Structure 1
Amino acid sequence: MDHHRFFPLHEGIALRDLADRVGMQLVSVEAGSKLVRSVAPVYRAQEGDICYLVSRKYRDELETCQATAIICSADIEPFVPDHVAVLRTKTPHAAFATVGGLLHPEALQPLKVTENGISPKACIHETAKLEAGVVVEPFAVIGANAEIGEGSHIGANTVIGPDVKIGRNCSVASGATIFCAYIGNNVIIHTGARIGQDGFGFAPGPAGMIKMVQVGRVIIQDNVDIGANTTIDRGAMDDTVIGEGTKIDNLVQIGHNVRIGRHTALASGVGIAGSTRVGSGVQIGGAAGINGHITIGDGAQIAGMSGVVTSVPAGARYGGFPARPLQDFLRESADIMNRAQARRKKKDAHNG
């Protein structure tokens, strides 16, 4: 299987240079001139590849490893075969992420149809303002008075609405739609994302549900990543805000007037109802549901599949449905399983 068709091999980086640039210790100095050109999982890594390992429970994979080098911590180093150079670090996951970006920088951005210029097949309003170096792919539509900063890339079939402002060095992948939004610098928006549509607001009336107007905006600060097919509703009368450095996975729903702090991470399938405040440094696991009009404090962690119905204190770890302190949830779950097991044993003994 050709693993490099879409992301070609790097011309090569010497291990000594890699260690210096990333802040790792090359254990075998004589291996410093060896080149690595790509990344691979431990079990199938070959010469020219670099891999990483963070847990001893996967050390059996090292038996088939033919990598040029591996990134790992000191406690895993004794299990590494002699023919594999070791780059020692206390943070192998983060170090490997940095190395991967150096070897395959093109994979850090959404894939592009064209690399340069403005396609004659794009539809750009005469009042739109595009700075130097903006790339616009075929069939993209850019509305009146929209502004796009230098170095940004607008994918095929993307729609940028009137008066939208997009900062510099942003990447908007194919098929995304952006309305009623101001977007900072170095933002990545993946395929099919929907930003700035009206939120879910209806008032019960004598004849049924009456639609509420949604006249707010979406504000996305610098260095935010937004996953494929994620939706971010504009505010009703205020703004929906995504803080600097926040990372949002695919298929996430963020309701109107939600405010998310800096460097927060939301895994796939998370849903946040309107007007909730999520702090900075929060981590929310996949498919968790967050009630509206509550607050998730700074640094809180929410386990996947949880249902959060009340506010969560800063730094707390919550899980379950309804979500509660994680240790309480785990203890209660264990108690339920123990009781069920005891009942089964009692029943089996009676039937026996």
Structure 2
Amino acid sequence: MEQNWFFPPHEGIRLGDLASQIGAELSDAAVAGQTVHAVAPVYRAKPGDVSYMLSRKSRDELKSCHASAIICDKTIASVVPSHIPVLLTSKPHTAFALAGALLHGEAMRPSYNTSERGIAPGAFVDPTARLEPGVEVEPSAVIGAGAEIGSGTRIAAGALIGPNVRIGRDCTISAGASILSALVGNSVIIHPGARIGQDGFGYAPGPSGGMIKIVQVGRVIIQDNVEIGANTTIDRGTMDDTVIGEGTKIDNLVQIGHNVRIGRYCGIVSQVGIAGSARIGDGVMIGGGAGVNGHISIGNGAQIAAMSGVASDVPAGERYGGIPARPMRDFLRDVAEMAMRASERQKKKGGKDE
């Protein structure tokens, strides 16, 4: 890959310092003073780069590797050539994430779109809005009446912050996002085009066969350290609140319906749809493209496989998959049985052709 001017290399961190900051042990103390500047995949890493390995499957990539260090577990350190220093850790994935944040801090949240700081001349901030010192508002952004925004928060170009919205400190609201009827905590990242706090999908049968809109007067509450992906939509509650718990990470193109409550430290992957009034516990992981029925509960620590259809409650700690979603062992058994039957049908068909 050519030099990446979007995310330029760091001025340099000593390997010894990097090891201590990511909780790793440097295999060769003699190189502790060498500096590293960037992260790179194993196969094209050059001097000054840090890479990581999670398994022996990457050993062939080491043939073209010239990294200044490789982060890995001690169980696979033996496959790393002796001329490449190793940063030993029992959690290489976590250590690499920490290293990336140190070497490429500017990539950890959406970057500035203009060179101006403070309140841009092209932004509109209602006179009744309250902004703490250090808030940045880029051109074409709109801050509505009575809104309150904490210090260190950046409102990017074209974003809309609706009336009376509250946003905490050190947040990033990216270009083109809109936030209505919401309370947002500290250190929240909302990526471009996300839609937060619009009314949910609620209708009652009309007297003449049509549908009558049900009023949506709840809020969206987003707790601290949440990240919400591009073009994700989170509807406000009907009469209660839609809640996204602390530390939860939501991918792009996710739909979260009204009154949904999502716990702390969940991971929700792209194109998941969660229908209204569902309850998602703490630490739940939901794979891409899964659908979650309304008015059901998914217990703490449960895992939902990609492309699953969750129609009923999922107990805490369980792994579910399939349509309808069921315990993973049952789902895999069903898949194996269907594959076996398909094979038998194919054999019979082949025999008739003969």
When the two structures are superposed, what TM-score results if normalisation uses the length of structure 2? Answer: 0.98
1:246 to 224, 245, 248: 248
Determine the C-alpha separation between the residues in 2 that align with 1:348 and 1:57.
39
* 2:185 match: 184
Q: Does residue 57 of the first structure (1) align with residue 61 of the second (2)?
A: no
| Aligned AA (1:35) | T
Determine the C-alpha separation between the residues in 1 that align with 2:90 and 2:143.
46
* 1:204 match: 205
Q: Does residue 341 of the first structure (1) align with residue 343 of the second (2)?
A: yes
- Contact kept, 8 Å, 1:166 with 1:183, in 2: the verdict is yes
Q: Does residue 158 of the first structure (1) align with residue 159 of the second (2)?
A: yes
Q: Does residue 289 of the first structure (1) align with residue 291 of the second (2)?
A: yes
Determine the C-alpha separation between the residues in 1 that align with 2:352 and 2:139.
73
| SS of 2:6 mapped into structure 1 | coil
Determine the C-alpha separation between the residues in 2 that align with 1:58 and 1:202.
54
Determine the C-alpha separation between the residues in 2 that align with 1:3 and 1:265.
32
- Contact kept, 8 Å, 1:112 with 1:173, in 2: the verdict is no
How far residue 86 of structure 1 moved from its aligned partner, in angstroms, is: 0.4
| SS of 1:100 mapped into structure 2 | helix
RMSD: 0.9
1:280-300 residue CA offsets vs partner (Å, 9 max, x unmatched): 000000010000000000000
* 1:109 match: 109
* 2:134 match: 133
Determine the C-alpha separation between the residues in 2 that align with 1:327 and 1:3.
47
How far residue 20 of structure 1 moved from its aligned partner, in angstroms, is: 0.8
1:134-180 residue CA offsets vs partner (Å, 9 max, x unmatched): 00000100000000001100000000000000000001011000000
4+ long deviations beyond 6 Å: none
- Contact kept, 8 Å, 1:250 with 1:268, in 2: the verdict is yes
| SS of 2:282 mapped into structure 1 | coil
Determine the C-alpha separation between the residues in 2 that align with 1:209 and 1:66.
65
* 1:324 match: 326
Determine the C-alpha separation between the residues in 1 that align with 2:180 and 2:62.
49
How far residue 22 of structure 1 moved from its aligned partner, in angstroms, is: 1.1
How far residue 114 of structure 1 moved from its aligned partner, in angstroms, is: 3.1
1:205-238 residue CA offsets vs partner (Å, 9 max, x unmatched): 2320111110000000000000000000000001
| Aligned AA (1:95) | A
| SS of 1:110 mapped into structure 2 | coil
How far residue 338 of structure 1 moved from its aligned partner, in angstroms, is: 1.1
| SS of 2:205 mapped into structure 1 | strand
| SS of 1:219 mapped into structure 2 | strand
Using the aligned pairs only, state the percent identity. 63
Specify every segment of 5 or more residues in structure 2 that has no aligned partner in the other structure, as ranges: none
* 2:221 match: 219
How far residue 31 of structure 1 moved from its aligned partner, in angstroms, is: 1.6
When the two structures are superposed, what TM-score results if normalisation uses the length of structure 1? Answer: 0.98
Determine the C-alpha separation between the residues in 2 that align with 1:46 and 1:158.
40
Determine the C-alpha separation between the residues in 1 that align with 2:155 and 2:16.
38
Determine the C-alpha separation between the residues in 1 that align with 2:65 and 2:330.
42
* 1:265 match: 267
- Contact kept, 8 Å, 1:123 with 1:140, in 2: the verdict is yes
Choose 29-38 or 251-260, whichever is displaced more. 29-38
* Residue-pair matches, total: 352
1:241-299 residue CA offsets vs partner (Å, 9 max, x unmatched): 00000000000000000000000110011100000000000000001000000000000
| SS of 1:292 mapped into structure 2 | coil
Determine the C-alpha separation between the residues in 2 that align with 1:320 and 1:181.
34
| Aligned AA (1:67) | A
| Aligned AA (2:92) | P
How far residue 344 of structure 1 moved from its aligned partner, in angstroms, is: 1.3
1:103-161 residue CA offsets vs partner (Å, 9 max, x unmatched): 00110011211362110110000000000100000010000000000110000000000
| SS of 1:210 mapped into structure 2 | strand
* 2:315 match: 313
Cα 1:188/1:46, change in 2 over 3 Å: same
Determine the C-alpha separation between the residues in 2 that align with 1:217 and 1:185.
17
Determine the C-alpha separation between the residues in 2 that align with 1:212 and 1:192.
26
